[in-house]
Amino acid sequence: MAARARPAPRPGRILLWTFGLLAILFLLAPVLAVLPLSFSAGSFLHYPLPGLSLRWYADFWNSDFWLPALWNSLRVGAGAALLAGALGTLAAFGLWRGRFRGQAVVMAVLLAPMVVPAIIVAVALLLFFGPLGLTNSFTGLILGHAALGAPFVVVTVLAALQQFDPVQLRAAAACGASPLRAFWRVCLPQIMPGVAAGAVFAFATSLDEVAVALFIAGPAQRTLPRQMFSGLNDSISLTIMAAAMVLVLISGLLLLAVTLLRRAR
């Protein structure tokens, strides 16, 4: 029996794949440019490389500035992700369950940090945190980064709640469960992948943020992006390339985590 001939790919599909590959290459171009420079044996940002070396990675891990900045970024990112995950989940659940006038306005306010320029948010936080004594502190920095990351949690949790049947909450109430217990035991386990994905996005936002760190953080709260910004202003060292590759590696791990969380749903 003769095999059926496969249909020829449509021009629209070929164009779509071509555009997608070009977009991926465009997004990966900075990473492809940074990766070789971080292994350069020279001391300047130029091609061709004079040789290969791990000296800049050794300088990064043995530095009194870069390594503490990385730990500060991870510390602030973890705190901001936990806070944004908790507040964003509660806000999303309230918007999902509630029906009230001005709900669209509340939603717009919650999502505003996603569209408002970071420099405006940084200045506003400086003016608000200054009288409260929250500048030059990890508390203020975590609160600021949590405000930037919470909208991502709201979006992912709202998407997860669209797959949740609210009849389950009424069934839990009929069995004698309080609203809090019904949420904790029935709803939260089912939307947890969305909560975790939002927290990962909040962590990634904190890890990459520099404007708020410049305005809120003091010398003891110097994060890795702020240290990179300062390094570019003071003296360009290829250690910045090594730091950039560390951020790329962490971002790749976060992307993998989000992918696994989506599959878990």
pLDDT by 10s per residue, the chain, length 265? 455 556 655 667 788 888 888 888 888 887 787 788 888 877 777 777 787 888 888 888 888 888 888 999 999 999 999 999 999 999 999 888 877 787 788 888 888 888 888 888 889 999 989 888 888 889 999 999 999 999 999 999 998 888 888 888 888 888 888 888 888 888 888 888 889 888 988 998 898 888 888 888 888 888 888 888 877 766 677 788 888 888 888 888 887 877 776 666 5
Domain ranges of the chain: 72-264
Q: Are 195 and 85 in contact (CB under 8 A)?
A: yes
Task: Quickly name the fold that domain 72-264 has.
Answer: MetI-like fold (1.10.3720)
- What is the model's pTM? 0.82
- CA 110 to chain centroid: 17
What would the two tokens of residue 239 be?
Answer: 């250690």
Handedness of CA 31, 259, 74, 195 (dihedral sign): positive
Note if the bond before 189 is cis, omega within 30 degrees. Answer: no
pLDDT tens digits along 23-52: 888 888 877 877 888 888 777 777 777 878
Give the list of residues 6+ apart from residue 148 with CB closer than 8 angstroms, or none: 80, 113, 118, 121, 202, 205, 206, 209, 212
User: Which residue type occupies 185?
Assistant: R
Q: Distance (Å, rounded) from C-alpha 51 to C-alpha 76?
A: 36
Q: How far is CA 132 from CA 50, 58, 139, in A?
A: 52, 40, 11
